[in-house]
Copies of this chain bind each other. A is one copy, B any other.
């Protein structure tokens, strides 16, 4: 059983050999999500990669709230909050209900708080 394997000409970088065993390569190919899943997953996490959106999610973890309230609490412009809520809405992290002129937003599910908590756990080490 060969531990190294010569790489063909078409390869993108300068490496002549690969070090990993073939069965590892096969295993990697097996667990690697499909292209679309990867993109979706990255987009999902990207949402949490912005302080403003994280703030919004924390706020909504306590109570449903209208756009204006969120803007006031976070001391930011209504437009900025509205834009971010749209992103959160598109990613199905928040839901909303209209009541007259006011739109109340809330977290789409409890899953989100778990992910926030898990991230917080990791950075607190």
Interface residue ranges, A against B (CB under 8 Å): 7, 11-15, 18-20, 24-25, 27-28, 31-33, 37-51, 54-55, 58-59, 61-63, 65-66, 68-69, 71-73, 75-78, 92, 102, 111, 114-116, 118-123, 125
Contact = CB atoms under 8 A, between A and B. Distances in A.
Given A77-B12, A78-B14, A78-B15, A55 B32 contact: yes
A73 B13 CA distance: 11
A20 B51 contact: no
Contacts of A69: 15, 18-20
22 contacts: A11-B72, A12-B72, A12-B76, A13-B78, A15-B68, A15-B71, A19-B65, A19-B66, A20-B63, A20-B69, A24-B62, A28-B58, A32-B59, A37-B120, A38-B54, A39-B51, A41-B123, A42-B49, A45-B47, A48-B49, A111-B121, A115-B118
Contact of A31 (B12, B42, B58): B58
B25 A73 contact: yes
